[in-house]
């Protein structure tokens, strides 16, 4: 099996969206709507708001890693935030995920990031084992919060007294 990992190009949009749909199915979530898919492609390959690595096995897209950068005021360095890393089920166990993750680690080192962060679903024990085996530590003292689109719209309309 030959494997090529590289930054995504515009021509990869359809393959990338196929992988995103496969991830949605794996996580038992609805896939992006057509409008969301267009925004995802725009923000990834046109506007470059997000960065995307794709892994190809014999010219077939088999994995992706979607990431972007935040910033740590205390470290005064960027943080590489890994939004998604996904490998098609039939390609798992071939160290593709590890190779992609190490590509991101090297990118974080090259850009002098102070840290890398990501979230893992509690039920995804394979991912938890994968990251902990690599030396990642689960943050016990932090809780993630989310304000969804409906909450944003509702809160944005509130008046401050």
Q: What is the pTM of this model?
A: 0.91
d(CA 22, CA 49): 23
For the chain, the domain total comes to 1
* Continuous H helices in the chain: 13-26, 34-41, 96-110, 125-133, 149-156
Phi, psi (rounded to 5 degrees) for 19 = -70, -40
Domain membership of residue 29 (yes or no) is yes
Domain membership of residue 7 (yes or no) is yes
Of the residues 64, 71, 81, 131, which is catalytic? 131
Verify whether residue 131 is a known catalytic residue. Answer: yes
Residues 6+ apart with CB under 8 A from 142: none
Helix 34-41 and helix 13-26: axis angle, to 10°? 120
- 81: domain CATH number? 3.40.630.30
Q: What is the pLDDT of residue 95?
A: 95
Cα 75–Cα 80–Cα 85 angle in degrees, nearest 5: 150
Indicate if the pLDDT at residue 1 is higher than 80. Answer: no
Domain membership of residue 161 (yes or no) is no
Q: Domain containing 98: what range? A: 3-156
Please answer whether residues 81 and 70 qualify as being in contact, where contact means their C-beta atoms are separated by less than 8 angstroms: yes
Cα 118–Cα 128–Cα 63 angle in degrees, nearest 5: 65
Q: How confident is the model over 37-95, as pLDDT tens digits?
A: 999 999 998 888 999 999 999 999 999 999 999 999 999 999 999 999 999 999 999 99
Q: How confident is the model over 112-138, as pLDDT tens digits?
A: 999 999 999 999 999 999 999 999 999
Q: What is the pLDDT of residue 21?
A: 98
Number of alpha carbons in the 13 Å side-chain half-sphere of residue 52: 27
Q: What is the pLDDT of residue 18?
A: 97
Q: How confident is the model over 5-37, as pLDDT tens digits?
A: 999 999 999 999 999 999 999 999 999 999 999
Domain membership of residue 58 (yes or no) is yes
Two structure tokens written together for 68 = 């972007």
């Amino acid at each position: 099996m030959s494997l090529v990992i590289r930054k995504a190009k515009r021509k990869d949009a359809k393959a990338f969206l196929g992988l995103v749909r496969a991830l949605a199915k794996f996580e038992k979530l609805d896939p992006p709507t057509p409008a969301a898919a267009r925004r995802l492609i725009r923000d990834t390959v046109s506007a470059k708001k997000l960065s995307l690595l794709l892994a190809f096995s014999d010219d077939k897209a088999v994995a992706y890693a979607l990431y972007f950068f935040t910033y740590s005021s205390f470290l005064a360095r960027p943080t590489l935030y890994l939004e998604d890393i996904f490998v098609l089920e039939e390609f798992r166990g071939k160290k593709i995920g590890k190779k992609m993750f190490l590509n991101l680690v090297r990118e974080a080192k090259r850009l002098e990031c102070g840290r890398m962060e990501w979230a893992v679903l509690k039920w995804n024990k394979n991912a938890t084992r994968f990251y902990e085996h690599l030396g990642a530590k689960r943050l016990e003292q932090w809780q993630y919060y989310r304000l969804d689109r409906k909450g944003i719209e509702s809160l944005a309309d509130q008046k401050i007294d």
